Amino acid sequence: MTDPSSIILLLLMGIPLLFGGVFVFLGQTTLRRFFYVLLAIHSAGLLSLLMLGDHDFSTTLVFFNEAITFSITATPTILFILCLAGLWLLAWQHRLPLAFFPARVHAIFISVALSAGCLAFYSGQFMMRYIALEVVGLLVALTAIVSFANLIPFGVIFLILRLGDLSMLAAILILYQPARTLDINTMITQAAQMPFNSQAWVLAGFLFAVIVKVALFPMGGWLQIARENKQFITIWISAILMPAMGYYLLYRIAPIFQYQSVFQIVTLVLASAMLLAIMLVSYLRVIPFSPFMLLNGVLSAMAILLAAYLIPDLLALYLFIALAARIVLLYQERVQVSLPPLGSALLLLALNTAFLLAGCQQLPMPAIIAWMALTVLASAWLYLMGKRDLTAKTLQQVLVHPEERLPLTLFTYEIAAWLYHQLEIGVFHDGLVKVRDGFLQAADWVYTNIEGGMEKIWTKLGSGLIRISKSALRQEEQVSHKANEGIQTALRSIDKQEIQAAAKEIRWDLIWIPVVLVVILVYLMMG
C-alpha cells in the first residue's frame, strides 16, 4: 500500500472530502478558486494513475471482515478522466451558479461525488461499488430539486435509481452465496459454476441496474426529470457521472454474458428491441425532441449488445466513445449549437462500422447482421429526426398534418404511440407516481378493511369477554347473595333457638344426672 498509485488513489478519495469540509466556510469568490483547485488536483491525480499503470492493492480498512481492496486499471481511469473533462467543460462554461441550492452546497455535492466516483471506479468489492452508486444516486436526486415546495422530482429520481440499485444488490447477493467473498473478480469467476437459474437472476439484476444507470429506454425517465434542472452540477452528476458508472458496471459484468449462449441471444433481442423502441418513441415525444437522449439511447443499447458478444478491450473503447459523445452532445446543448443531422448520423455509422470491422472475427453471424442492420436503421433515423426537426411536435400534431409524417405506416405510429404512452410514460415515467398512489390506495383499503376489521374483531372479542365477565360477576354476586341470605337465615334460626332455650326455666329436678356423671368420671380416673 506504499506504492505511488495506491497513495494517489487514497488521496483522490480523501482530498475531495477535505475540500468539501473547507467549502462550508468559504465565500463565493474563494469558493470558485478552491473548486478549480480541486478539479485540477483530481485531474492530475487521475492522469498520474493512468501513467502509473495497472495495480491492485489491499488496505487495512475492513468491510464485513474483508479487507477493502482496490483495482487500478486503465478502463475506469479513462472513464473517470472523461467524466472530469465533462465537468471542466460544463463548469468553465457556466461558472459556479447561484442556483436553488447555494453554490457552497453544490460544491460540496461535487466533492462527495468525486470521492464516491473513485470508490465506484476503483473498488475491488461489489458492495463498495454499490454503496458509491447509492450515494451518487442520492446526489442526483438532491441536485434535481428546484424547489422545496415540489419534492416530486427528488422522490421519483430517488425511487427509480433505488430500483436499479436494489436489482444490483439482488445480483450481488446471489453471487455472494457461492463466492463467499465480495471481491468482484472472484464473484464473477464463481458465477460460471452457478446453476443456470441463478446465473439468469444475476444477469437480469445487473442488466436492469445498467439500464437504469445509463437511463436507457424504458428507464430513462429519471434523467429527463433531472435535466429539467439546468444547473451544470445536475447535468454532470446525472447525465455524465452516473451513466459512466453504469457503463463501467456493464464492462465488469460482461463476462457473465458469455456463460450461456442463450444469454447472448436474449441480450441481442433485448438490445434490438430497446433500440427500435427508442427510435419509434423518440419520433412521438411530447416533450421537446432531444438529440442527446436519442443518441444516448442508441449508443447505450448498442453497448449492451457489444457487451454480450465483444472482447473487453473493444467494449471499453466503445464505452469511452459513447461517454465522449454524451459529453459533446451535452456541451452542444448547453451552448445551444445544433448538430447537423447528417453529422450525428454519419458519426454513428462510422463508429459502428469501425467496430464491426475490428471485432468481426469474434462476432457470430447473427450478431454481425443485427449490428449492421441496427446501425443503418439508427443512423437513418437520426438523420431523419434531425432533418425534420420535430421539436415540440406531438403525435396529434403529426397525425393532423400528414405531410409531416415520416415514411412509415399508421400502424407503426400506433405501435410507437402505444410503446411511448403505455410503457415509457405510463409505466416508467409517471409510473412510479402511479405506483405510489396505487400503494397509497392499497394501503388505505388494507387499513380500513383488514386493520380496521382486526380492530373490530378485537373490540368484539374484548366486549364479549367483558360481557362474560359481567355475567360471571353477576352470577357470583347472586350466589354470594344467596349464600349470605342462607347464612343469615341460619344465624337467625340459631339465635331464635338460643332465645327460646334461654327463655325456658332450669329443671332443678334433673340436677342429679350431671352429678352422677361427674362421680362416675372421678371414679374411673382414680381406678
Partner 1 sequence: MNTYAYLLSGITLLPVLGVIILILWKKATKTQAAILGIISESCALIIPIILLSELRAGRSVVFSLPWIPNMGISFSLELNWLSLIFLITEVLVTLAAMIYSLGDKDGEKRSHYYYALLLLFSLGMSGTTLADDVFLFYIFWELMLIASCLLIISWGHGENRLRVALKYFIITHIGSLMVLVCLILLYVNFGTASLSALTVQAASLPAQTQVFMIIFFLIGFCIKMAIFPVHLWLPDAHTVAPMPVTIILAAAMLSMGTYGVLRFPVALFSLEAMQPFALWMMIAGLISEVYGALMALAEKDIKRIIAYSSVSQMGYILFGLGSLTHDGMVGSIMHVIYHAIVKALLFMVVGILLAAAHERNIDKIGGLAKKMPVITVCAAIGVLGISGMPPLGIFNSEWMIFAGGFDSGFPIVLTVITLLGSILTVIYSLRFFGKIFFGDTKPEKVDTNISKALLISTVAVTVFLIIEGLTPGPLLTWSELGLVSILGGLP
Q: Which residues of the chain form contacts with partner 1 (CB under 8 A)? A: 62-65, 127, 130-131, 134-135, 138, 148-149, 151, 154-155, 158-159, 162-163, 166, 169-170, 173-174, 176-177, 197-198, 201, 436, 439-440, 442-444, 446-447, 451, 454-455, 458, 462
For residues 470 and 473, what is the distance between their CA atoms, to the nearest angstrom?
Answer: 5
Give least dist CB 250 to partner 1, A: 21
Considering the complex, state which of residue 163 and residue 423 has its C-beta at the smaller distance from partner 1.
163
Give least dist CB 246 to partner 1, A: 18
Give least dist CB 408 to partner 1, A: 37
For residues 19 and 97, what is the distance between their CA atoms, to the nearest angstrom?
Answer: 18
For residues 63 and 70, what is the distance between their CA atoms, to the nearest angstrom?
Answer: 13
For residues 138 and 131, what is the distance between their CA atoms, to the nearest angstrom?
Answer: 11
Give least dist CB 436 to partner 1, A: 6
Considering the complex, state which of residue 176 and residue 418 has its C-beta at the smaller distance from partner 1.
176
Give least dist CB 166 to partner 1, A: 6
CA 237 to chain centre: 16
Give least dist CB 193 to partner 1, A: 16
Considering the complex, state which of residue 2 and residue 65 has its C-beta at the smaller distance from partner 1.
65
Query: ω before 243 within 30° of 0 (cis)?
Result: no
Considering the complex, state which of residue 139 and residue 301 has its C-beta at the smaller distance from partner 1.
139
CA 438 to chain centre: 19
Burial 196-217 (b: 16+ CB within 10 A, else e): eebbbbbbebbbbbbbbbbbbb
Give least dist CB 283 to partner 1, A: 32
Considering the complex, state which of residue 201 and residue 283 has its C-beta at the smaller distance from partner 1.
201
Residue at 272: amino acid letter? S
For residues 395 and 286, what is the distance between their CA atoms, to the nearest angstrom?
Answer: 8
Considering the complex, state which of residue 172 and residue 329 has its C-beta at the smaller distance from partner 1.
172
Report the SS3 class of residue 150.
Answer: strand
Residue 131 neighbours by CB under 8 Å, 6+ apart:
119
Give the total residue count for the chain.
527
CA distances from residue 243 to 19, 68, 280 in whole angstroms, order as listed: 25, 24, 22
Report the SS3 class of residue 527.
Answer: coil
Considering the complex, state which of residue 131 and residue 399 has its C-beta at the smaller distance from partner 1.
131
Considering the complex, state which of residue 92 and residue 447 has its C-beta at the smaller distance from partner 1.
447
Considering the complex, state which of residue 454 and residue 516 has its C-beta at the smaller distance from partner 1.
454
Residue 288's closest CA among 386, 404, 217, 391?
Answer: 391
Residue 309 in contact with residue 269, Cβ under 8 Å?
A: no
Residue 367 in contact with residue 355, Cβ under 8 Å?
A: no
Dihedral sign of CA atoms 502, 507, 512, 517 in order: negative
Give least dist CB 169 to partner 1, A: 6
For residues 244 and 209, what is the distance between their CA atoms, to the nearest angstrom?
Answer: 13
* Grid cell listed for 506: 332450669
Give least dist CB 270 to partner 1, A: 19
Considering the complex, state which of residue 161 and residue 363 has its C-beta at the smaller distance from partner 1.
161
Give least dist CB 77 to partner 1, A: 24
Considering the complex, state which of residue 195 and residue 407 has its C-beta at the smaller distance from partner 1.
195
Give least dist CB 471 to partner 1, A: 18
Give backbone dihedrals phi and psi of 375, rounded to 5 degrees, phi first: -65, -45
Report the SS3 class of residue 335.
Answer: coil
Considering the complex, state which of residue 200 and residue 322 has its C-beta at the smaller distance from partner 1.
200
Start-to-end Cα distance in the chain: 117
CA distances from residue 35 to 32, 136, 407 in whole angstroms, order as listed: 5, 19, 51
Q: Which pairing describes strands 66-72 and 55-63: parallel, antiparallel, or unpaired?
A: antiparallel
Give least dist CB 104 to partner 1, A: 15
Considering the complex, state which of residue 151 and residue 490 has its C-beta at the smaller distance from partner 1.
151
Q: How many helices (H) and strands (E) does the chain have?
A: 21, 2
Give least dist CB 54 to partner 1, A: 28
E strand or H helix that includes residue 212: helix 196-213
